[in-house]
Amino acid sequence: MSARAYLSISGEVKAALAAGKPVVALESTIITHGMPYPQNLAMAREVEDVVRAHGAVPATIAIMDGRLCVGVSGEDLERLAVEGHAAAKASRRDMASLLAQGVMAGTTVATTMQIAALAGIRIFATGGIGGVHRGAEQSFDISADLEELGRTPVAVICAGAKSILDIAKTLEVLETNGVPVLGFGTEDFPAFWARTSGHKVDQRFDTPADVARMLAIQSDLHMGGVLIANPIPEADAWEASAIEGFIAQALNDAEAQGIKGKATTPFLLQRIFELTGGKSLESNIALVKNNAKVAAQIAVALSAQLASRPA
């Protein structure tokens, strides 16, 4: 059986893809493991609205009922949000087992990219990517997201990487994997809650049309993913120094409680949410919406450019 036989694509997304209209993929681990209920459900719906408001069709991706679902909405989206941490967190290696067992799972950046590519979606918006964890020289904890970006031809619009990670090492691994890291209107790689990290991106691009031109060429060259880093809006940003104390505390707590492997990122996010009295979540939601807007604009520009090419 072909891999595509496992896809369940919603009617709206299928029609948009067939017509070459802009589509933006959205991940679901951010819903199940990245945010608490009910804010996760509100966020998921608002982000879809933002994509639509900017002229593209949203395609939330998840694994449900033994299917790779593209365009999850309505009651299914609610089921996913309510399930939360009780749902599985699908990394690349989990996919076949989850399909075999018919288990509900949020898809990480890595698996969302994989499923988006299978469905023919080129643009994907999220909050932050996984990366090289601090202390990786001991733990070897490097997110599968970085490997996937190297091989799967999907552009991921994010707000950089959180400083719960080692950003310098994350950028090194992206370089090793051949992943272009573009700054959208910035030369500095953003650090999720903060607009800068002190580390440089590879190239700065200032408009959706410029990014779309680069993506079309990347695709012509049969190369892999592209990471587009879009800083959190000024009004919602934190000073790096203001969040660092909370991150240090969360990392200490994770170590004290022996948190390891795939539980690490959800634990740190939850702890920082508690330590900031919920304020980290407000910023998180603001940056995801901002990424959804830019992703939709890039998707619109890319569709227009591809449609105007000689056949």
Catalytic residue among 14, 162, 262, 293: 162
Q: In the window 85-124, what residues touch ligand PSU (CB under 6 A)?
A: 108-109
Q: Report if residue 265 touches ligand PSU, rule: CB under 6 A.
A: yes
Q: Report if residue 283 touches ligand PSU, rule: CB under 6 A.
A: no
Could you tell me which residues are beta bridge partners of residue 281?
A: none
Q: Report if residue 262 touches ligand PSU, rule: CB under 6 A.
A: yes
| Count of residues near Mn ion by CB under 5 A | 1
Burial class (CB in 10 A: 0-12, 13-18, 19+), 235: exposed
Only segment of 53-61, 140-148, 210-218, 227-235 that touches Mn ion (CB under 5 A): 140-148
Say how many C-beta atoms besides its own lie within 10 A of residue 279's C-beta: 17
Instruction: Give Cα 244 distance to the centre of its chain.
Output: 22
Q: Report if residue 141 touches Mn ion, rule: CB under 5 A.
A: yes
Q: Residue 148 touches which of ligand PSU, Mn ion, none (CB < 5 to 8 A by kind)?
A: none
Residue from 4, 94, 78 nearest 42 by CA: 78
CB 272 within 8 A of CB 247: yes
Q: Residue 231 touches which of ligand PSU, Mn ion, none (CB < 5 to 8 A by kind)?
A: none
Could you tell me which residues are beta bridge partners of residue 28?
A: none
| Count of residues near ligand PSU by CB under 6 A | 17
Q: In the window 13-72, what residues touch ligand PSU (CB under 6 A)?
A: 27, 29-30, 33-34
What whole-number distance in Å separates Cα of residue 159 and Cα of residue 291? 7
What whole-number distance in Å separates Cα of residue 3 and Cα of residue 137? 36
Phi, psi of 79, rounded to the nearest 5 degrees: -55, -45
Binding-site ranges for ligand PSU (CB under 6 A): 27, 29-30, 33-34, 108-109, 127-128, 130, 143-145, 162, 262, 265, 269
Binding-site ranges for Mn ion (CB under 5 A): 141
Binding residues for Mn(2+): 141
Binding residues for substrate: 89, 109, 143-145
